[in-house]
């Protein structure tokens, strides 16, 4: 009996030590992740190269990208995410989670709504030099809205448009500016054609988890997963499968078609723009030393243009050659500087003037 009791006590002691060790490691992992977060808040790192060719004012560019790293996200129904309010030297986010337009007329003659991803949002430029802001300079009597968000695909933009339309928000012009994010996101083998880049995070939040394993291993598991996934992109389905690339293109165009129907319902003009990317056309990217894979764009873009041609969709505009030439425009493979945004704003203005 004493022997059995001794074995039981030894087992219980070993189990207690094991649980304490697991909890301690998990607690240490939590401290590491919190420490990394706090360090980034106090000293926000800039993860990309800032080329002096396209960003000649390097000090100002560093300020923009530091503030970009300070931005945090919050949940917004149906579109999934937006930004928390923020007021910096170069970036301002309002209470709706959207980037502020510096110019707001008292009696606007038109209400113009821009949708898109981070290029339309204005990664790499200040509030005054986003595409919507530069368009607003050309039309100071218009009330312009920048509904774009980093990482958005066209399906999220469509949801955002519905959120406005079902609340009778006034709208005279609606502009969708897409092409960078849809292929990069929807070609991923781990996502569906109606997915977005944060699907796995939403699944983790919604799934039922046991509290004890989470307390013992949760932070450790998260830290290991972040380390394993760092720098790795999911496999693309589009590069080896033209049929899937065509589905991605069809999904993008169908989202545009649905947005156009909403615009028609609201009596608004609608433009869908296939945005420029660095690997298509003949832009000057000789100064960009970072490697990037443009295969998904090369796989999807031709299908978008083929659908436009086959269905005679004259409200879709191909901007892929907008930056052909010697000018230094690209900040990276998608985002563009003040000059690039000015070119796009002027082209949109010209289209609307002839509309």
* pLDDT value at residue 215: 56
Q: Give the separation between CA 171 and CA 144, rounded to whole angstroms.
A: 10
Chain length of the chain: 355
Taking only the tens place, the pLDDT of each residue in 1-25 is 666 666 666 677 766 676 677 556 6
Of residues 148, 344, 348, 161, the one with CA closest to residue 260: 161
Has residue 166 got a pLDDT over 70? yes
Of residues 224 and 77, the one with the higher pLDDT is: 77
Mind listing the pLDDT tens digit for each residue in 288-307? 998 888 999 999 999 999 99
How many CA atoms are closer than 13 Å to the CA of 145, on its beta-carbon side? 22
The DSSP code for 93 is E
CATH code of the region 58-191+234-353: 3.40.50.1110
Average pLDDT over residues 179-195: 96
- pLDDT value of residue 204: 78
- The pLDDT value recorded for residue 24 is 66
Cβ atoms of 187 and 126 closer than 8 Å: no
CA distances from 80 to 131, 199, 256 (A): 23, 10, 19
């Amino acid at each position: 009996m004493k022997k059995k009791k001794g074995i039981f006590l030894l087992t219980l002691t070993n189990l207690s030590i094991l649980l304490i060790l697991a909890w301690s490691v998990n607690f240490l992992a939590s401290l590491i992740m919190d420490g990394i977060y706090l360090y980034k808040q106090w000293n926000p790192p800039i993860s990309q190269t800032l080329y002096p060719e396209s960003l000649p004012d390097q000090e100002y560019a560093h300020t923009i990208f530091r503030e970009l790293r300070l931005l945090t996200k919050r949940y917004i129904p149906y579109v999934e995410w937006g930004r928390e309010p923020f007021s910096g030297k170069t970036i301002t986010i309002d209470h709706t989670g959207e980037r502020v337009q510096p110019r707001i007329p008292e009696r606007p003659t038109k209400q113009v709504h821009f949708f898109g991803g981070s290029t339309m949002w204005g990664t790499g430029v200040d509030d005054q030099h986003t595409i919507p802001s530069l368009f607003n300079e050309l039309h100071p009597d218009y009330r312009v809205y920048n509904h774009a968000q980093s990482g958005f695909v066209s399906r999220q933009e469509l949801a955002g448009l519905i959120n406005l339309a079902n609340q009778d928000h006034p709208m005279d012009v609606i502009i969708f500016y897409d092409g960078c994010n849809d292929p990069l996101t929807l070609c991923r083998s781990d996502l569906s054609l109606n997915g977005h880049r944060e699907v796995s995070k939403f699944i983790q939040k919604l799934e039922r988890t046991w509290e004890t394993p989470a307390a013992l291993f949760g932070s450790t598991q998260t830290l290991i997963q972040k380390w394993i996934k760092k720098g790795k992109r999911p496999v693309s389905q589009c590069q080896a499968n033209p049929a899937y690339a065509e589905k991605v293109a069809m999904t993008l165009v169908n989202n545009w078609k649905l947005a156009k129907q909403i615009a028609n319902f609201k009596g608004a003009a609608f433009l869908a723009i296939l945005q420029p990317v660095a690997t298509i056309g003949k832009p000057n990217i000789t100064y960009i030393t970072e490697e990037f894979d443009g295969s998904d764009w090369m796989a999807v873009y031709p299908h978008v243009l083929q659908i436009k041609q086959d269905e005679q969709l004259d409200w879709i505009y191909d901007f892929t050659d907008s930056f052909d030439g010697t000018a230094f425009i690209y900040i990276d493979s998608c985002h563009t500087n003040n000059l690039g945004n000015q070119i796009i704003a002027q082209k949109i203005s010209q289209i609307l003037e002839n509309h």
